[in-house]
């Protein structure tokens, strides 16, 4: 591996941010979907009023080629949103690093 001083400052910043993200707990690939549903109780206000449907947060993921939906309880919403956002940021950083390496390869730079 090349010494740190030979790595471009922009790349060093990307690697540093990537290490910071990976040191934090929780990374989750998926999409969060907010749904509004009826609960099924005949006496609930959602049964008669379309505007009174209950909010539900669902995590949609693809595992082994199959789509899966997982209900996210309200107490976990903030945590799961952070995990999904962290995954997206990691994915973006890896893409930026990959593009930088590809550019160096095209220019035949080390």
Domain boundaries, given as residue ranges, for the chain? 9-107
- Helix 77-107 to helix 9-23 angle (10° resolution) is 150
Could you tell me if 86 and 4 are in contact, meaning their C-beta atoms sit under 8 angstroms apart? Answer: no
Confidence of residue 26 (pLDDT cuts 50, 70, 90): very high
> pTM to 2 decimals?
0.79
Nearest to 19 by CA among 106, 89, 109: 89
Q: Kindly tell me if the per-residue pLDDT of 4 is higher than 90.
A: no
3-state secondary structure of 56: strand
pLDDT at 29: 94
Higher pLDDT, 13 or 5: 13
Q: Of how many residues is the chain composed?
A: 110
- Whole-angstrom CA distances from 72 to 3, 10, 77, 97, 101 are 44, 37, 6, 32, 38
pLDDT at 33: 95
Write out pLDDT tens, residues 34-92. Answer: 998 888 888 888 888 878 888 899 999 999 999 999 999 999 999 999 999 999 999 99
Confidence of residue 2 (pLDDT cuts 50, 70, 90): low
3-state secondary structure of 65: coil
Higher pLDDT, 42 or 108: 42
Q: Kindly tell me if the per-residue pLDDT of 1 is higher than 70.
A: no
């Amino acid at each position: 591996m090349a010494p740190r001083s030979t790595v471009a400052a922009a790349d060093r910043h990307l690697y540093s941010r990537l290490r910071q993200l990976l040191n934090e707990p929780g990374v989750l690939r998926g999409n969060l979907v907010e749904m509004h549903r009826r609960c099924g109780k005949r006496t609930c206000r959602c049964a008669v009023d379309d505007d009174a449907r209950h909010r539900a947060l669902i995590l949609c993921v693809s595992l082994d080629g199959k789509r899966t939906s997982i209900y996210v309880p309200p107490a976990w919403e903030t945590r799961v949103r952070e995990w999904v956002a962290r995954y997206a940021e990691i994915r973006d950083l890896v893409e930026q690093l990959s593009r930088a390496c590809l550019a160096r390869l095209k220019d035949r730079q080390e």
